[in-house]
Amino acid sequence: MVKSSEVIAAANLLALTVVFAAAGSFLFSYLQEMLARYLRFPSFAPGNAAVAGLARTAAVDFVVVTFPVFLTALAAGIIINYVQVGFLFTTEPLKPQLSRINPAEGFKKIFSRRALFDLVKSLLKVVIVGTVAYLYVNKRVDVLLLLLYQNAAQVWETARSLVLGLSARVGIAFLALAVADYLFQRREHMQNLKMTRQEVKEELRQQEGDPHVRGRLRERMRRLAMHRMMESVPQATVVITNPTELAVALRYRDGEDEAPVVVAKGAGLMAGRIREKARQHHVPIIENKTVARMLFAQVEIGQAIPVEMYQAVAEILAVVYRLRR
């Protein structure tokens, strides 16, 4: 969850500037009427019934003057928070945590990269507000001096123009700072989401099991597959060799197999074991380097030979049948 308080502050300032620009005249007129009303208010003694009326009037005036400000700040805060994090209701921050009062954790936060960034950000705020205010007001010193010779309405318009101009400039500067703060918060959030190398190992171990156990299981499965393959050699019709490097056992049963099927194959020591197994069970062994290489490279165990090899394998099977007769 990425959230920047600077974005909320900048949005509040700009929203209040817009509201002040739109409702400034109304507020000025209302303040004039309110001042005149209080000046015309009759004097009263303690306990006079007029006190209750004055309190009610003051409460209404307070609500009318402050309601636009409070409503704008509330609406801007809710909207910006929703844009940043969406709808989120949780009581997690209210739960007591001992880490919050842990001195070691406190020192880590004080001397962290986040604390350094917050310090730089606070200094930038002061520098930005001071610079923008100085540059803006310095060019309008003559306008401020003329306020001594203007009436109330003229003073209000001049002050309103100065405040709007200053707040708009400060708000835009704050908005630039808020964008930088949001990007930093997002980068920090993405960094915190990344797992360490040890965490990755632990997660893989939990998902897939211990690597040593997986290795033993793979070895056991390989041995079982080899055992099943060797058990299929006695059922073979012929074993085609390279003659010593490769050995491929083929099975063809008329009426059962549409084409000869590879039931076992191997290279090196495994080829020697296949030949030995074939001799023990009187399976014919035929030497044909070209066919042995093609079968070993192109056909997997349990698959039928491709059509382009039918002729070559048929000639070998014909030799086998003659030998049997």
Q: Which residues contact 175 (CB under 8 A, 6 or more apart)?
A: 10, 11, 14
Residue-wise pLDDT tens digits, 10-55 = 888 888 888 888 877 787 788 778 877 777 766 555 555 666 677 7
Q: What CA–CA distance (Å, rounded) separates 20 from 164?
A: 8
Distances from the Cα of 33 to the Cαs of 21, 38, 66, 187, 320, in angstroms? 20, 9, 16, 53, 120
Superfamily (CATH) of domain 229-324: secretion proteins EscU (3.40.1690.10)
State residue 1's pLDDT score: 58
The average pLDDT across 73-100 equals: 71
Q: Where are the domains of the chain?
A: 5-194, 229-324
Is the per-residue pLDDT at 95 higher than 80? Answer: no
pLDDT value at position 149?
A: 77
pLDDT in tens, 154-197: 777 788 888 888 888 888 888 888 888 788 777 877 777 776 67
Q: What is the per-residue pLDDT for 172?
A: 85
Contact 295, 248 (CB under 8 A): yes
Q: Which residues contact 171 (CB under 8 A, 6 or more apart)?
A: 10, 13, 14, 17
- pLDDT in the model for residue 99: 62
Band (pLDDT 50/70/90 cuts) for residue 101 is low
- All residues at 6 or more sequence positions from 312 whose CB lies less than 8 Å from its CB, including other chains: 288, 290, 291, 294
Of 89-98, 212-221, 238-247, the range with the highest mean pLDDT is: 238-247
Looking up tokens 């055992």, which residue turns up? 227
pLDDT classification of 211: cutoffs 50, 70, 90? low
Alpha carbons 225 and 106: distance in angstroms, whole number: 59
**Overall size of the chain counted in residues:** 325
Q: Give the model's confidence band at 104: pLDDT under 50 very low, under 70 low, under 90 confident, else very high.
A: low
In the DSSP assignment, the letter for residue 41 is S
Question: Packing angle between helix 113-138 and helix 103-110, nearest 10 degrees?
Answer: 50
Structure tokens at 185: 């918060």
> Mind giving me the DSSP string for 257-274?
-SS-EEEEEEETHHHHHH
User: Which residues fall within 8 angstroms of residue 84, CB to CB, at 6 or more apart?
Assistant: 2, 3, 4, 7, 182
Residues 6+ apart with CB under 8 A from 13: 167, 170, 171, 174
Q: How confident is the model at residue 216 (pLDDT cuts 50, 70, 90)?
A: confident
What is the pLDDT at residue 34? 80
